[in-house]
Amino acid sequence: MNEEKILATVGNVSITEADVDAFINSLPQEQQMYAQNPQFRQQCVDQLVAMNLFSMLGEDEKLDETAEFDKYITSARREILARLAMQKVFSAVEVSADECKAFYEQNPQFFQQGESVSAKHILVKEEAECIEVLESIKGGEAFEDAAKRVSTCPSKERGGDLGAFSRGQMVPEFEEAAFAAEIGALVGPVKTQFGYHLIKVENKTEASVVPFEQVAPQISLSLQQQKQGEAYAAKVEELKAKYLG
């Protein structure tokens, strides 16, 4: 077995990669996302070095012989015991594949995927200009080229591509026209509060139910958290009866 790499030594204490990982795991979630950043990891090593240096100072000043030290030790012991006992309660909670499947089948409303449209558009201020662009496209100009040439929407940089969108994401007039159009159709001018649009429908996806396989991990996690919450509440009541009479 290879010995773990030692990153720093403070007195007789060696700080290893595992120590840094454990330290990072104790940090808030938003900081843990930097776990693989070399600069961040070095900062963690520096903090661990400083912590051990202060620990050595505390020993030199015999702070471990004070009443305050005993108070912290008692508090830490209580917290550790509580955490280990809760972990034991939570570890007994299991979620079966049958439970996940049953939840999926009994709650189809959670797994609906609405219909969507993929479209490109060209936006101009005046109806006359919109009609002129339409005629240009009918005459052979590529829709994407026309979008880059005249559209006032930032999507012009992508040839007018808006990607996929579902109902409720666009203004009503635009949405109605896009969802009513056939794939490949060129629709417009369509007037909205932003101006006049030409719309080219690229694709349509019908409403559907997300397959169980795609959502099974999320269902399992949700059920596990729910069951752990129930187990926690039940255990608290049990312990109240046991220790508080």
Per-residue pLDDT reduced to its tens digit, 14-35: 999 999 999 999 999 899 999 8
Q: Contact, 15 vs 51, CB < 8 A?
A: no
Q: Contact, 215 vs 222, CB < 8 A?
A: no
Token pair 């429908």 is found at 201
| Domain of residue 180, CATH code | 3.10.50.40
| Shared domain check, 130 and 91 | no
Domain membership of residue 54 (yes or no) is: yes
Residue 2 has pLDDT above 60, yes or no: no
Lowest mean pLDDT among 2-11, 17-26, 222-231: 2-11
Gap between the Cα atoms of 110 and 133, Å rounded? 43
Q: Contact, 18 vs 4, CB < 8 A?
A: yes
Q: Contact, 203 vs 120, CB < 8 A?
A: no
Average pLDDT of the chain, as a whole number: 93
Hey, what are 73's tokens?
A: 């030790």
Residue 5, pLDDT score: 86
Domain membership of residue 71 (yes or no) is: no
- Least Cα distance to 132 among 186, 189, 181, 185 occurs for 189
| Shared domain check, 88 and 158 | no
pTM of the model: 0.58
| Shared domain check, 180 and 123 | yes
User: Where in the sequence is the domain holding 11, given as residue range(s)?
Assistant: 6-65
Domain membership of residue 70 (yes or no) is: no
| Shared domain check, 139 and 25 | no
> Where among 65, 86, 103 does a domain terminate?
65
Residue 162 has pLDDT above 50, yes or no: yes
- The length of the chain, given as a count of residues: 245
| Amino acid, res. 130 | C
Gap between the Cα atoms of 232 and 124, Å rounded? 60
Domain membership of residue 196 (yes or no) is: yes
| Shared domain check, 11 and 45 | yes
Gap between the Cα atoms of 59 and 65, Å rounded? 9
Domain membership of residue 198 (yes or no) is: yes
| Shared domain check, 105 and 223 | yes
| Shared domain check, 198 and 178 | yes
Backbone torsions φ then ψ of 15, nearest 5 degrees: -100, 120
| Shared domain check, 200 and 120 | yes
Residue 3, pLDDT score: 63
**What are the residues facing 164 on neighbouring strands?**
118
Q: Would you tell me how many other CB atoms lie within 10 Å of the CB of residue 88? A: 10
Domain membership of residue 1 (yes or no) is: no
| Shared domain check, 123 and 107 | no
**What are the residues facing 9 on neighbouring strands?**
14
Gap between the Cα atoms of 202 and 178, Å rounded? 10
Residue 1, pLDDT score: 43
Domain membership of residue 72 (yes or no) is: no
Domain membership of residue 73 (yes or no) is: no
3-state secondary structure of 33: coil
| Shared domain check, 216 and 164 | no
Per the structure, the count of domains in the chain is 3
Hey, what are 1's tokens?
A: 């077995």
| Shared domain check, 197 and 216 | no
| Shared domain check, 170 and 51 | no
